Amino acid sequence: MDSSSTLLAAMKTVLAGNQFPVALHEPSFSEREQQLVKDCLDSGYVSSVGEHVDRFELQLAEYLGADYVVAVVNGTAALHISLLLAGVVVSDEVIIPALSFVATANAVRYCGATPHFVDSEPHTLGIGPAKLSDYLAEILQLDGGVWRNKNTGCRVSAIVAMHTLGHPVDMGALNIVAARYGLPVIEDAAESLGSCYKGKMTGTLASIAAISFNGNKIITTGGGGAIVIRDKQLAVRAKHLTTTAKISHAWEIAHDETGFNYRMPNLNAALGCAQLERITAFIEQKRRLADAYSDAFFSVTGISVFQEPEFSRSNYWLNALLLDEADLDKRNAVLKLLNNEAIMARPVWTLMHKLPMYRDNPRMDLSVVEDLEQRLICIPSSPFLIEATGHA
The reported pLDDT for the residue numbered 388 is: 61
Dihedral (Cα; 264, 266, 267, 270), 10-degree rounding? 100
* Long-range pairs of 41-47 with CB within 8 A, sequence gap ≥ 24: 41/267, 43/266, 45/266, 46/265, 46/266, 46/267, 47/265, 47/266, 47/267
Taking only the tens of pLDDT, the chain with its 392 residues reads 667 889 999 999 999 999 999 999 999 999 999 999 999 998 888 887 779 999 999 999 999 999 999 999 999 999 999 999 999 999 999 999 999 999 999 999 999 999 999 999 999 999 999 999 999 999 999 999 999 999 999 999 999 999 999 999 999 999 999 999 999 999 999 999 999 999 999 999 999 999 999 999 999 999 999 999 999 999 999 999 999 999 988 899 999 999 999 999 999 999 999 999 999 999 999 999 999 999 999 999 999 999 999 999 999 999 999 999 999 999 999 999 999 999 999 999 999 999 999 999 999 999 999 999 999 999 999 999 998 655 55
CATH number at residue 283: 3.90.1150.10
What is the arrangement of strands in the sheet containing 196-197, beginning at the earlier edge strand?
Answer: 200-201, 196-197, 312-313
Residue 138's CATH number: 3.40.640.10
24 and 36, same domain (yes or no)? no
Strand partners, 114: 93
pLDDT of residue 249: 87
Considering the domain architecture, whether residues 159 and 201 belong to the same structural domain is answered as yes
Boundary of a domain, candidates 225, 253, 276: 276
The pLDDT score that the predictor gives to residue 45 is 84
pLDDT at 226: 98
209 and 228 belong to one structural domain: yes
> Which of 225, 247, 276 finishes a domain?
276
Q: What pLDDT score was predicted for residue 49?
A: 74
Residues 291 and 255 in one domain: no
Size of the chain in residues: 392
The residue range of the domain holding 73 is: 31-276
269 and 310 assigned to the same domain = no
Strand partners, 378: 320, 346
pTM (predicted TM-score): 0.96
**261 in the same domain as 290:** no
Q: Are residues 298 and 242 in the same domain?
A: no
- The tally of domains found in the chain comes to 2
Look up residue 350 and give its DSSP letter: P
The pLDDT assigned to 331 comes to: 97
